[in-house]
Amino acid sequence: MTYSLSRADVDSITDGDVKCSTMKLLPGWDDIPVDFRNGNLYTRLAEARLLDYQLPGISIAFLPEFDDAAACEAIDRCITAHLNAFAPRHQHRIAGVGYMISKVCTVTCVGVENANAGHHA
């Protein structure tokens, strides 16, 4: 089954999900493409979000369905709720959240030093 993430899915994250964490929208390990399991720009962004540091040299363009202030807040809530989960293992969460991020926006490197990084979903 192909993994998808809709605006309604993102909007379904509750305050309880954020407070206690959730895995309800996290793709299964086998549904996550190999380049996300091995790490890419999207997974580095997920890890930066988890560890609360900025990832310099990136540009984020939200897909049309997610390109408004309310969506940005809902996406942040969704990402936070999934990153804070104690299960599954860390690698699965980072790969899965990175893949989730790729379903709502396009992340690109800006600057020559990052020219080889990118998205392959």
pLDDT in tens, 61-120: 999 999 988 999 999 999 999 999 988 999 999 999 999 999 999 999 997 554 444 444
Evaluate whether 3 touches 60 at the Cβ level (below 8 Å): no
Check whether 17 has a pLDDT greater than 70. Answer: yes
Would you state the pLDDT for residue 76? 94
How far, rounded to the nearest angstrom, does the alpha carbon of residue 105 sit from its chain's CA centroid? 9
Can you tell me the distance from the alpha carbon of 119 to that of 99, in angstroms, rounded to the nearest whole number? Answer: 10
Would you state the pLDDT for residue 56? 85
Structure tokens at 32: 């996550």
Structure tokens at 67: 């390109």
Query: Could you give the angle at which helices 90-102 and 41-51 cross, rounded to 10 degrees?
Result: 120
Rg of the chain in Å (alpha carbons): 14
Can you tell me the distance from the alpha carbon of 39 to that of 47, in angstroms, rounded to the nearest whole number? Answer: 10
Give residue 35's identity as a one-letter amino acid code: D
Would you state the pLDDT for residue 1? 60
- pLDDT above 70 as % of the chain: 91
- pLDDT above 90 as % of the chain: 81
Would you state the pLDDT for residue 111? 75
Contacts of residue 17, Cβ cutoff 8 Å, sequence gap at least 6: 24, 77, 81
